Every structure is written in structure tokens, then in C-alpha cells.
Structure 1
Amino acid sequence: MSGRGLLEGQVALVTGAGGGIGRGIASRFAQEGAAVVLHCRTAVAAAEEVASRVRESGGRAVVLRGDLTDEDACRRLVGEAAEWGGGRLTALVNNAGVQPTRELAGMGVREWRAVVDTNLSSVFACTQAAVEVMRGQAPAGGSVTHIASIEATHPAPLHAHYSASKAAVVTHARAAALEYGRLGIRVNTVSPGLIGREGLEEAWPEGVRRWRSAAPVGRLGRPQDVGDACVFLASGLASWISGHDLVVDGGVSARPTW
């Protein structure tokens, strides 16, 4: 393991840790000294691969499964994570989410709810459960980070349900920061831009080309870029930061729109 020990002694739960961004976040938390709970719904092998690497490097990691569209499953997940952590949970990263495409005109309520339940309601339920653990810790406190998106403010075609859910995630974090701050719990969001994954350039070559052209930094994001932002927000370096949306997009959002 390598890192500066920014999260030494912390116990962190990362939801959706079987996907590319989730694996990057969990890996960076472990590199900085946190004991990591990797949640997944179906991508067990991918999450286990990360957990195995963490353990081989001398860290602590475990994989837990759950369907986060079920409120009871969210509470069970948080409870099991805290139990594994010796009764402690100091950081939660709400990363689990879906991003289907659908024209707004033809979208049904069932399709809308499937996205909102996964991307927003799970954030509400997991955060609520985590706060109940964090508020009873000695010393009390902890951090919660939601993974939002630059689409919260810059929606893309065919992503109305996704963009709306991510905008709500940003506002939830700000509202939660107001109410949970007195408990020593900070709540923030990280809003990534386009993050590279295997096969993306082959599946969407024109989109990747446009992104690289638009990004002042000149490249796609990497899972570890999102992980770095989450590590910062969970660390003591961000002890006076709450209710903030940290945009991680290579500068795309800074471009003029005219």
C-alpha cells in the first residue's frame, strides 16, 4: 500500500464499489490507510478483486452485497459495515447509481422511479443510517460524500431522469450538511465529468473525441481522480468543508457556452 496515511484509522463504506469509479474510490481510501467496506449488488468478482489486493497489501477490506433500492437493505448494509468495523463507521461514499438513456417524451414513471430510487433514494437511506452510527461514536462525527455529476447542472440529451436525480443528490447533501453539522458530520458531493472505462472509446469514439477537445486538461477522467477528491473530503484537510460540490471534470464546466 502507498499513500500519506490521510485516512489512517478510518472505517469507510463505498457503495457501488464493483464499478470502475467505485473501485477507484475504494482503492484510494485503502491506500490512505482506511479499512474499507466495498458494497456491490451484482459485480461481486470485481469488488472482491479490489478487496483481495487491499488485503495482500496489508490493509483491511470486506465485500458486502445489497440492493440499495430497498430501504431495509440500506440499513442492513450500514449496520453490517459498522459491525465489521468494530462498531465504527467514519466515512460513507454514496457512489452506487445507474445511467440509462431514454427520451423524455417516451419515458414512463416506472423508468423514472428506477433511476430515482437507485441514484437518490438510496443516498437518503444510506446517509440516514450512517448518521445514526456516526453520531454515537467517540469522538462523534464523520463524513458523507455523494457522487453526483456535472449533469446535475449541465444535463445531456436522453438523461433527464439521471440529471434530475443527480441535481437532487447535490441539494440533499447541502440540506444534510445543515442538519447534521451540529453532530460533527460533514456532507459534500463530488461531481465527475466523463470518466474513462474499458471499451468506451470503441463504443463512443465521437463523444470521447469531443470531450478531449472540450476539456482544458485534454483527457478523460480516471477513477482515481474521483477517488482523490473523495479522500480529500473524508480527510482532516477538509475539516471545515461541508455542503460543497467539488467538480472533477478537467475544466470542461469552465468553458463558455456561446
Structure 2
Amino acid sequence: MGDVGGPVFPGIAGKVALVLGSGGGIGAAVAERFAAAGAEVVLHARSSTAATDAAAARIAAAGGAALPVAADLSDPSAGDRVVGAAIAWRGRLDVLVNAAGIQPVKPLAELTDGDWRAVLDTDLGAAVRCTAAAARVMLPGASVVHIASIEGSQPAAGHAHYCAAKAALIMFARSAALELGPKGLRINTVSPGLISRQDLAEAWPEGVRRWQAAAPLGRLGTPRDVADACLFLASPFASWITGHDLVVDGGVSSHPTW
């Protein structure tokens, strides 16, 4: 499985992992990283499965197992359906990674109720529904990891709805960790900083320059950086970690604000 990202990772091989938002970016990196570590992966996309079909083919070519599924997570029944797909496929679910979300930019004074509801329902509501569905079938030792953001604690202009949703997601995960811990389930979040993507430096050069100047490690993050954090939190190396928000931002949060 080294062709899709690296060697088998202790405690992950043979696990069944459902990765929400596997169609691109962070979600795709997470799905392929877990597959490379030896997990059998359910690749979720909102509608079109073209990207997840291609990722599943790469995983299969490298000797792994993957199942693409499609579901609009704003549908109240979608959580049960995607979790049910994993159960029907392999009979269990060991890891849920929620990388599904949207990040629109709009000034606060121009936000409509529809704008607000779209972000809250996608970035928070889907997490609640899918966590509840997973909790009904997961066995002790299973793990849920939600992709939050450093904007859950540090605001950004034009992102009021997104920042609010990610802050709520972090607290939701802590609440779920409290409630589901006695059942042997661990719930954590990963909060990435600015993650590189195609053409970002060209589209937002001043922002990239500011980030690189502020970050002690001097670079943007990569989807693989986030995927590795998820892999760690889902592994036995994190067996006594729950209700935690793991910040993956190259140290930018440590930069003085004055």
C-alpha cells in the first residue's frame, strides 16, 4: 500500500474507516492515507463519485479495499445511510473521519438566513447526525475525528458563519467525547491552519505571504499533514486521548497578536 501514501500503520491495518468528504482536498488525502496504513475505506462524496471512484481504483491497484458512496449529508437520513453502507460492506465501523464541509466567504452584513443555514447544516449538522449514527453501531475502541479549523478559535473576516460552525463543532466533539467515553468511543477534532491547494498562491498571494511570515515553520500545510493527524488520533497511540482539539497549523497560533 505504499503507493498511496506510506507503510502500514500499527493498529490501523484491517480497520474499517468511513471518510466523509473524500471527493477532494483534505478528505481525499485522509482516505488514501488510511488506505495506505492498511485500513479498508468507505469513500464518501456528496453527489458525483467520479473522484472517489478514481481514488478507490488507486487504492485497489495498490492492494487495498475501498467502497465509494454518495449522499447529501444535509439530508437527515444521510448519516444512517453512509454508516449503513460501511456496515453492509464489512459488518462494522471502526473509524469515522468527518472532512465534509463548505467554506464560503461573505461579509457579515450581507449574510442571509440561507447562507447561515447552509454552513451550519453542512459543517455542524452533518457532524451531529453522522456521529449519532456511528455511535449506534461502533464498538468499544472505535474513534471519530472531525476536521474543524483554527477559525474555530481565531476569527476571519467574511467567515462569521464558518467560524461559528467550527467553534460549535469543537465543543460538540468534546460533548460527544464526554457522553460516549463510557461506551469506549473516542471523539476528537483536528483544526488545520492554511492548507495548500492548486493555484492558491496565485489566487491569494498576499495571504500566502502573510501566513508564511507568521508561521514559525514557514510554510503552508498540506492535506497529508492533516491526514497524518487524523491517523494518529484514530490509532492506539492516542488511546487515552478524547475530547481534544489537535491544532495542525505550523505554529501560526503561537504568533504574537500584538
TM-score by length of structure 2 reads 0.96
Counterpart of 1:215 in structure 2 is: 215
After alignment, is 212-221 or 148-157 more displaced?
212-221
2:67 paired residue number: 62
Which of 119, 124, 135 is the equivalent residue of 1:120?
A: 124
CA contact (8 A) 2:48 2:70 kept: no
Using the alignment, how far apart are the partners of 1:251 and 1:19 within structure 2? 25
1:15·1:38 contact (CA, 8 Å) conserved in 2?
yes
* Residues 109-147 of structure 1: CA deviation (Å, up to 9, x unaligned): 11100000000000000000001110xx4xx33000010
Distance 1:217 1:46 in 2: 32
Q: Structure 2 CA distance, aligned partners of 1:157 and 1:123?
A: 24
Q: Report Cα offsets for 1:75-105 as digits up to 9, x if no partner.
A: 11111122112x1000001110000011111
Partner of 1:91: 95
Matches within 5 A, 1:138-217: 140-217=140-217
Number of the residue aligned with 1:239: 239
Aligned mates of 1:242, 1:191 — CA distance in 2: 15
Q: Deviations over 1:43-81 (max 9, x none)?
A: 522222211111001001011000001110221111112
Q: Per the alignment, in what secondary structure is the counterpart of residue 130 of structure 2? A: helix
What CA distance in whole angstroms lies between the structure 2 residues aligned with 1:29 and 1:123?
20
Q: What amino acid is the match of 2:228? A: D
The gaps in structure 2 that reach 5 residues or longer are: none
Gap runs ≥5 in structure 1: none
Q: How many residues align?
A: 253
Give the CA RMSD over aligned residues: 0.9
> Does 2:93 align with 1:52?
no
Q: Distance in 2 between matches of 1:45 and 1:253?
A: 36
User: TM-score scaled by structure 1?
Assistant: 0.96
Aligned-pair identity (%): 58
**Which of 10, 19, 23 is the aligned partner of 2:15?**
10
1:176 alignment partner AA: A
2:137 aligned residue: 133
CA shift in 2, pair 1:228/1:43, >3 Å: farther
Give 3-state SS (helix, strand or coil) of 1:71's partner.
Answer: coil
Contact 1:19–1:43 (Cα < 8 Å) also in 2: no
